[in-house]
Structure 1
Amino acid sequence: MPPSDGWYLLGPFIAVALVGFLGAIFWRMGLQWTQAREDPLRELYAGLAIFGEAEDYGLLCPAAATDDPDIVEEIRTLLAAAGIRSTSAVRPDGRLLVLVFPEEVDEARRLVGGSPAL
């Protein structure tokens, strides 16, 4: 068969058509249920999927909670001056948390104990 008669295009065309067909089947079987509005499990999929619960912050523990972002920055500055690494996160209810590692959580809570954030 000479390559000029068009048969060389049949293989790639079949491959693309097969991938498209399989993609449509997998989309229909696997992704459609996540887009349903009446899905009772929809709320579980909100946010990052790596966290098992909404209040799970991985290796970090909350040391302080507040509603004011300025107070969070003051607490983080205080903790940084004491040599404690910290970060902040937003809870689902909108409150702000200051998070530290578990081995430093007691010391961090003692430092911010007089803070209006707690």
Structure 2
Amino acid sequence: MPPSDGWYLLGPFIAVSLVGFLGAIFWRMGLQWHEETREDPLRDLYDGLAIFHDHGDDFGLLCPAAATDDADLADEIKGVLATAGIRSTSAVRPDGRVLVLVFPEEVEEARRLVL
């Protein structure tokens, strides 16, 4: 088959046509690029989920066992819990209060020791 017949253009033509066809399908399905920033339509559903909030009340796996206004008192509470074999840490809330945090399975025992 001589190259002057034009068959050598058939392969690239099929490839370009296939890419254009797939692009049209994706465009029709709504998978187009958006430059504008829109408000998230699911934002109202996030209100009950703590991972989407910006406040500091989410401590992951830890639960507050005690709260105080004095950082030294929080250190003393952590010392009491450490002598009882309970691992603890502290976190400062946005309002300035210091929370002593422990794992959920140790919360009840830690609260009994703190009182």
Name the counterpart of 1:89. Answer: 91
Q: Secondary structure at the match of 2:52?
A: coil
Unaligned runs of at least 5 residues, structure 2: 1-34, 38-49
Moved more, 96-105 or 53-62: 53-62
Name the counterpart of 1:13. Answer: none
Overall identity of the aligned pairs, in % = 69
Name the counterpart of 1:80. Answer: 82
CA distance in 2, matches of 1:68, 1:29: 48
Give, as a single letter, the amino acid of the residue that structure 1 aligns with 2:102: V
Name the counterpart of 1:62. Answer: 64
**Runs (4+) of structure 1 moved beyond 6 Å?**
none
Q: Tell me if structure 2 keeps the 8 A contact 1:88–1:96.
A: yes
Q: Tell me if structure 2 keeps the 8 A contact 1:86–1:99.
A: yes
Give, as a single letter, the amino acid of the residue that structure 1 aligns with 2:81: L
Cα-to-partner distance string for 1:75-104 (whole Å, 9 max, x where unaligned): 000000000000000111110000000000
Q: TM-score, normalised to structure 1's length?
A: 0.52
Please tell me whether Structure 1 or Structure 2 has the larger radius of gyration of its CA atoms: 2
Q: Secondary structure at the match of 1:88?
A: strand
Number of residue pairs the alignment of both structures matches: 69
User: Residues 88-107 of structure 1 correspond to what in structure 2 (within 5 A)?
Assistant: 88-107=90-109
CA distance in 1, matches of 2:65, 2:96: 16
Q: TM-score, normalised to structure 2's length?
A: 0.54
Name the counterpart of 2:30. Answer: none
Name the counterpart of 1:23. Answer: none
